[in-house]
A = this chain, B = another copy of it.
Amino acid sequence: MSVLVVGSVAFDSIKTPFGDAPEILGGSASYFSVAASYFTEVRLVAVVGSDFPESNLQVFSSKGVDLRGLERVPGKTFRWAGEYSRNMNYRTTLDTQLNVFADFSPKIPPDYARSEYLFLGNIHPGLQSNVLQQVHRPRLVACDTMNYWISGERAALLETLKQIDILIINDQETCELAGTEVLPEAIRKVLALGPRILVMKRGENGICLVGPGMRFFVPAFPVEEVMDPTGAGDSFAGGFMGYLAGADTDDFESLKKAAVCGSVMASFCVEKFGLNRLTELTFPEITERYHEFHRMTQFAEL
């Protein structure tokens, strides 16, 4: 089965302690698409400006990503600039130019309307709901969001959350959405808002997947040198949803495997700037790291 992703495609200017990368291909939908492409067919819905070069389109098409949903409109592509602290734990946004993304109103091509797996990247929750109105109810809808929408567009976000299956956010966002710092309580409250499953990203502390009768933890891969954390969360989502769509299943055992696939893709993502590591991957490298995750976490019964 293919997976449909709606999100941003952007030019990122990134500073980390390892160097500068000006105006490289980024955006939530870009990381998601490339990560998911190793597991299944990907359909990308996003918008770029007239300055978006052919070479960047080829990054996607070389991975077999279906670009019929990538709108190209007059104007400049979304630009973001950020800088990471020395230990990479903090990120400062230096500049945001929404450009053509400011008026982004996702149009789902008719051929995409029956996609069974859908990922709503981090865009205005009203747009996320709008996407859901344009498609035949998929088998599985996953969704990302951020503090900006949690505090600024709460009503619209709560509406979206009622319509999705899986919410993929980080631990701070979970607490902010729930209005409590106590994680077990926060998780319960978030699950009461609609999503059947919460996949909580905890950075270097890995992933926690919670749902009815489900509780699964996977650590972050101990990457030797994190060059650039940008896109790790979207790469996780890409590996996660890509695996589920490719396997066409959503039982607990598959969700676990999907969470590991997501963690594998996130761990590769941060090893080089931007999409550089994700685009050069081979599937054997992915299965080898999956196996390494297995070795790192498996133990016998008492």
Query: Using a CB–CB distance below 8 Å, which chain A residues touch chain B?
Result: 86-87, 181-184, 202, 204-206, 208, 215-219, 222-225, 253, 256-257, 259-261, 287, 290-291, 294-302
Contacts and interface: CB of A to CB of B under 8 A. Distances in A.
Contacts of A297: 216-218, 297-299
Nearest to A205: B205
A256 B299 CA distance: 6
Contacts of A298: 297-298
Contacts of A217: 206, 219, 296-297
Contacts of A181: 86-87
B184 A224 contact: yes
A220 to B, nearest CB: 9
Contact of A294 (B204, B206, B290, B301): B301
B216 A253 contact: no
Contact of A299 (B206, B219, B223, B253): B253
A96 to B, nearest CB: 29
Contact of A296 (B204, B215, B287): B215
Copies of this chain assembled into the complex: 2
Nearest to A256: B299
Contacts of A287: 302
B216 A222 contact: no
Contacts of A204: 183
A263 to B, nearest CB: 11
Contact of A302 (B182, B223, B290, B301): B290
Contacts of A299: 216, 218, 253, 256-257, 259-260, 294, 297
The 7 nearest A-B residue pairs measured at CB:
A217-B219, A256-B299, A205-B205, A290-B302, A87-B181, A215-B296, A297-B297
